[in-house]
């Protein structure tokens, strides 16, 4: 159990190259954080009233009942 616990600590300290790059990039370019927030607000951060309402539900046309009546194939048609 001690080995597993030690592995957990090692993994908790790991940081991928991409994560390091993004952290350093955002430290050097703080304006990008605001740009991200603005871009997110365009698509996601909306109240239910501000979202486009869904299209109205369309009901299936009423069928007369004979449109889907199939006849079995005859032996000559098989």
User: Using CA atoms, how far apart are residues 50 and 42, in angstroms rounded to an integer?
Assistant: 11
Find all residues with CB under 8 Å of 23, minimum gap 6, and list them. 15
Give a yes or no: residue 57 inside a domain: no
* Residue among 45, 46, 48 nearest 36 (CA): 45
Q: What is the number of domains present in the chain? A: 1
Give a yes or no: residue 37 inside a domain: yes
Give a yes or no: residue 1 inside a domain: no
Give a yes or no: residue 67 inside a domain: no
User: Using CA atoms, how far apart are residues 25 and 33, in angstroms rounded to an integer?
Assistant: 10
Three-state secondary structure call for residue 77: coil
User: Using CA atoms, how far apart are residues 40 and 36, in angstroms rounded to an integer?
Assistant: 6
Three-state secondary structure call for residue 62: coil
pLDDT at 6: 56
| pLDDT tens sequence for the chain (78 residues) | 455 555 566 667 899 999 999 999 999 999 999 998 888 887 777 777 777 777 787 776 666 666 666 777 888 887
């Amino acid at each position: 159990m001690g080995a597993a616990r030690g592995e957990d600590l090692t993994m908790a300290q790991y940081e991928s190259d991409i994560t390091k790059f993004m952290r350093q990039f955002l430290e050097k370019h703080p304006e990008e954080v605001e740009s991200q927030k603005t871009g997110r607000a365009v698509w996601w951060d909306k109240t239910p009233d501000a979202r486009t309402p869904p299209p109205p539900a369309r009901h299936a046309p009423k069928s007369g009942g004979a449109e889907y009546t199939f006849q079995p194939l005859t032996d000559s048609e098989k």
